[in-house]
Structure 1
Amino acid sequence: MIADLHIHSTASDGRLSPLEIVRQAEDAGLSHIAITDHDTVAAHLELREAGIIDNSMSKLSIIPGIEFSTDLPWHEVHILGYFIDIDNMKLRDQLEVILNDRLRRSRTMVEKLIQLGYSIDYDSVLEFAGQAMAVGRPHVAKVLVENGYFKTVSEAFDVLLAKNGPAYVPHYKLTPEQAIRLIEQAGGIAVLAHPGLIGDDNLVLNMVKAGMRGLEVFHPEHDQAMTSRYLDIANKYNLKITGGSDFHAIPGRYPEKLGEFTISAALVDTLSM
């Protein structure tokens, strides 16, 4: 039995719809998945509406999850939440605040780009976002690419949209401590996402002290040395051990399909204990 506990859908910045993710996961033989969209539980609401969640006929177990982008002075820290109550009112109210700020931010970025001489409009950004609740820089970048200003989304980021770039706009984020508390209030388990990408193991330890209950040890961008180091830290501090593909279904970005990067489903059992 194999699992993938870090997946993004079209509800945030992924390329596959929640239903497409479920079908691909089933075809790949996964037993457990967690859809962990940025700052939204819209994918889980959609799957529940479609009768997919808690379907006793399916061999696939879908864990309700989320990924919060939180802010520190010199770092962005991503925090995963597992087994959350998607109907929790404190959670839903906070997500509404974040959603509204994302929309404000996207509109302001478009205004900046127009001032810089780029002929794009806000409606096009929303059109590219589609069903995404977490509208953000990737959608703005796609419009820039579509309009012929750049060849790739990465190029648009590098030139304009990266932090402190000419069209960058900061947005409202929770602190790591606030995200941890919110996940706990929603009955979930807070896990530090891809610690190797933070670049500061002292900060990782600070997050453990702040109340983090798990560590994403297994991730496509963790090399063997990182994986061993974070496995040691997880064991030393009695943390839950998780992992996932950080799947977005982006061509050329590993993994391109679900099932190419997996973890043992036995870790799901220890996560829920």
Structure 2
Amino acid sequence: MLTADLHIHTTASDGRLSPTDIVKEAIRAKLSYIAITDHDTVDGLLQLNEMTQSIPDSLKIIPGIELSTDLPENEVHILGYHIDIHHPELRNQLNILINHRHERAKQMIDKLNQLGYSITYERVVELAVYATAIGRPHVAKALVEKKFFSTISDVFTTLLSKDGPAYVPHYKLTPKQVIDLIKKAGGVPVLAHPGLVGSDDIVLDVIHSGICGLEVYHPTHDERQIQKYHEMAKQYHLKITGGSDFHAIPARFPKQLGIFTVPADLACELQKPSTHECS
């Protein structure tokens, strides 16, 4: 059976593998479709554009993105599939988001220094290596390097969680703004991991805002949630997607591509016109 993974992160945001290595792993796992969905950036996809001739016909790469939204108490992330990565309005908004990410990192580092954790912005950028979208994991990596903590998870638990003493919120768009932006860029907006949103009322609000699909299959969803969101997608005539949310983090499931997959039919359906009002 042909398989797909429609939620993958690279070193362009907070993943541990480069776009090139992701392609190699996808080929090794014999995946037919993958979607690169980095946070707030398409730079990983731009890198892959330069090596299209070396990508076999057996592997199709769907250009995507994952954008956070301005709902502080809830984890509302929206995936965009088949976006035009050169679309002017999209690129302009991504530049704004990236600049705010850097400012946010500086503010977190200032807070950490005041708390006695001496790290520098320059070192965080160095540790981020190829990342365009600098985030909390890169700051946490600097703290682990200085041996303030043993693991990145410990840093988040102690300092960088949403109620942590060094947390700084970052600039976000509303769900409606994100949905509209993805559509303008020719893409298909899909609500990521609805089970992590924290409220099905908010899931319904996002549906009524014009979302085109639900990520029904996600490593954090149990069978009950899968069934619930599958039925919800059918009820509202939404596309059904799924993916591993792969970051190549050893302590996080899945540890490698190909362990958590969905049928390739779901990737094919993303290319078909929607019957939902999202279109």
With normalisation by structure 2, the TM-score equals 0.95
Aligned Cα RMSD in Å? 1.1
CA deviation vs aligned residue, 1:79-122 (integer Å, no higher than 9, x gap): 00000000000000000000000001111111111111111111
Deviates more, 1:212-221 or 1:152-161: 152-161
Hey, what does 1:271 align to over in structure 2? 270
1:40 aligns with 2:41: yes
In structure 1, distance between residues paired with 2:52 and 2:27: 16
Q: 1:80 to 1:29 in 2, by over 3 A?
A: same
CA distance in 1, matches of 2:119, 2:21: 30
Distance in 2 separating the partners of 1:223 and 1:76 = 18
Map Cα deviations across residues 59-96 of structure 1 (whole Å, 9 max, x no partner).
10000000001121421310000000000000000000
1:233 and 2:232 correspond: yes
CA distance in 2, matches of 1:31, 1:6: 14
Q: State the secondary structure of the residue aligned to 2:45.
A: helix
Question: After the TM superposition, which residues 153-172 of structure 1 pair with which residues of structure 2 at under 5 Å, given as runs?
Answer: 153-172=152-171
Deviations 1:169-198 (A, max 9, x none): 111011111100000000000000000111
- Counting matched residue pairs gives 271
Q: CA deviation at 1:150?
A: 0.6
Q: Indicate the residue corresponding to 1:84 in structure 2.
A: 83
Task: Give SS of 1:22's match.
Answer: helix
Deviations 1:227-267 (A, max 9, x none): 00000000000000000000001102111110000000011
Alignment match, 2:275: none
Whether 2:173 is the aligned partner of 1:174: answer yes
Letter in 2 for 1:264: P
Question: Do residues 221 (structure 1) and 220 (structure 2) align?
Answer: yes
Letter of the 1:133 counterpart:
T
Asked if 1 retains the 8 angstrom alpha-carbon contact of 2:75 and 2:196, the reply is no
Displacement of 1:162 in angstroms is 1.1
Partner-residue secondary structure (3-state), 1:67: strand
Q: 1:189 corresponds to which residue?
A: 188
Please report how far the alpha carbon of residue 52 of structure 1 lies from its aligned counterpart in structure 2 after TM superposition.
5.0
Counterpart position of 1:23: 24
Listed as ranges, the matches of 1:1-12 within 5 Å are 1-12=2-13
Deviation string for 1:208-244 (max 9, x for gaps)? Answer: 0000000000011100000000000000000000000
Give distance in 2, aligned partners of 1:11 and 1:133. Answer: 5
Q: How does 1:44-55 map to 2 (within 5 A)?
A: 44-52=45-53
* Cross-structure match for 2:116: 117
Residue of structure 1 in register with 2:58 after alignment: 59
Query: What corresponds to 1:249 in structure 2?
Result: 248
Q: Secondary structure at the match of 1:75?
A: coil
- Structure 2 regions of 5+ residues with no counterpart? 273-279
The CA distance in 1 between the partners of 2:24 and 2:98, in whole Å, is 28
Query: How far is 1:50 from its partner?
Result: 2.4
Q: How far did 1:144 drift? A: 0.4
Name the CA shift for 1:182/1:2 in 2 (closer, same or farther; >3 Å).
Answer: same
Contact 2:75–2:198 (CA under 8 A) maintained in structure 1: no
| Structure 2 match to 1:207 | 206
Gap regions ≥5 residues in structure 1: none
Q: Which residue of 1 aligns with 2:103?
A: 104
Q: Which residue of 1 aligns with 2:14?
A: 13
Structure 1: distance between partners of 2:153 and 2:229? 29
Return closer, same or farther for 1:52/1:96 CA change in 2, 3 Å cut-off. Answer: farther
Q: Which moved more, 1:121-130 or 1:179-188?
A: 121-130
Identity of aligned residues (%): 58
